[in-house]
Chain A
Amino acid sequence: MRTIIEENSNTEHTTVIIKCRETTDGIRKLAEYIEKYTQRVVVYKNNERFSILKTTVYYLETVDGKTFCYTENSVFEIRQSLDNAQKMFVENGFVRIRRNCAVNIHKIKCVKAYDNHRVMLELDNDEKIIASRRYIPELKEKLAEMG
């Protein structure tokens, strides 16, 4: 398969066209992946509205009734409940790790055993978050599906 990227400063929307003889499962998966990769979400910071790529979000957390999404080095408010936000992000590999936190499994670097039967997740940006024991089986299951 050849990959061609055409740069044009007049292009309004980035468009990916797959040219093929027939739509196979592989092509369908590729299209789904591209679609997932370009999905955006509306977030807020200091009452300013931003649109960020879902794949750039590391984890979602609810603090004092507000849900925040954490990117590599920024924090944005997402005006949704954690349950709704997680539903929006479920296709992007988000899994609940605590009652008030869901993590993007693609951003987990490694895990370490922690006290009280919990595990500490180290993310790609070196941030560390704790997964409660209740959610470890779900995390393992999701990671196994991904692997």
Chain B
Amino acid sequence: MKNIIVKIVSNASLVITIFMLVTAICNIFGDSSEKIFYVEFLTIVVCVFIVSAIEFGILANAHFKTAKSYYISSFMIWYICIAVTVFSTNWMGISIKNLIAFTILFTGIYALVTKYNICTIRKDAAEINNILKKYHDKKQPD
């Protein structure tokens, strides 16, 4: 059941995304009065695509000497892509004050998400270690 739901959700998301992309492209090149809205939408899609490709395609397989170097790379990629989205779509006016506010807000959210990820992976590792401990105890009863 879980697998079916996962498949339906992922396929539905893909279909909706393709539909929205086609709509946006048609409106940009067609005779539409809402071109700016669709250009903004496409900017967001492209930024999300780039950041996802780097994070899950490149960083996920890259080998970093330290965890710190990974987090710095990941932070910079997300920061730059989201900054481009926010400032290029005029959601925030370009000013030093706004840039500082954005940096603080982004750093806070990034720290929370990272903390959550670290906790999840530690939990997974602990679960795996528990199973392994049971297995090793069973294998060597003496």
A interface, CB within 8 angstroms of B: 98-99, 108-119, 130, 132-133, 136, 139-140, 143-144, 146-147
Residues of chain B within 8 A (CB-CB) of A147 are 131-132, 134-135, 138
User: Given A132-B61, A133-B60, is A117 in contact with B131 using a C-beta cutoff of 8 Å?
Assistant: no
Give the nearest-CB partner of B121 in chain A: A113
User: Given A111-B128, A111-B129, is A143 in contact with B121 using a C-beta cutoff of 8 Å?
Assistant: no
Query: For chain A, what secondary structure do more than half of its interface residues adopt (helix, strand, loop), or is it mixed?
Result: mixed
State how many angstroms separate the Cβ of A44 from the closest Cβ of chain B: 27
Contact of B122 among A99, A113, A116, A140 (CB under 8 A): A113
Residues of chain B within 8 A (CB-CB) of A119 are 121, 124-125, 128
In the complex, A99 Cα to B61 Cα: how many Å? 9
B12 at the interface (CB under 8 A from A): no
User: Given A111-B129, A139-B128, A143-B131, is A118 in contact with B121 using a C-beta cutoff of 8 Å?
Assistant: yes
State how many angstroms separate the Cβ of A101 from the closest Cβ of chain B: 11
B21 at the interface (CB under 8 A from A): no
Contact of B120 among A115, A117, A144 (CB under 8 A): A117
| A113 close to B131 (CB less than 8 A) | no
| A108 close to B125 (CB less than 8 A) | no
State how many angstroms separate the Cβ of A98 from the closest Cβ of chain B: 8
User: Given A132-B60, A143-B135, A147-B134, is A113 in contact with B128 using a C-beta cutoff of 8 Å?
Assistant: no
Further pairs besides A112-B125, A133-B60: 7, Cβ < 8 Å: A110-B129, A115-B70, A116-B59, A140-B127, A146-B135, A147-B132, A147-B135
Contact of A111 among B64, B74, B132, B138 (CB under 8 A): B132
Residues of chain B within 8 A (CB-CB) of A146 are 131, 135
B interface, CB within 8 angstroms of A: 59-61, 63-64, 67, 70-71, 74, 117-118, 120-122, 124-125, 127-129, 131-132, 134-135, 138
Interchain Cβ contacts under 8 Å between A and B, 15 examples: A98-B61, A99-B61, A109-B132, A110-B129, A113-B118, A113-B122, A116-B60, A116-B70, A119-B124, A140-B131, A143-B128, A143-B132, A146-B131, A146-B135, A147-B138
| B125 close to A113 (CB less than 8 A) | yes
In the complex, A113 Cα to B118 Cα: how many Å? 8
Residues of chain B within 8 A (CB-CB) of A112 are 125
In the complex, A99 Cα to B60 Cα: how many Å? 11
| B117 close to A117 (CB less than 8 A) | yes
| B60 close to A136 (CB less than 8 A) | no
| B132 close to A108 (CB less than 8 A) | yes
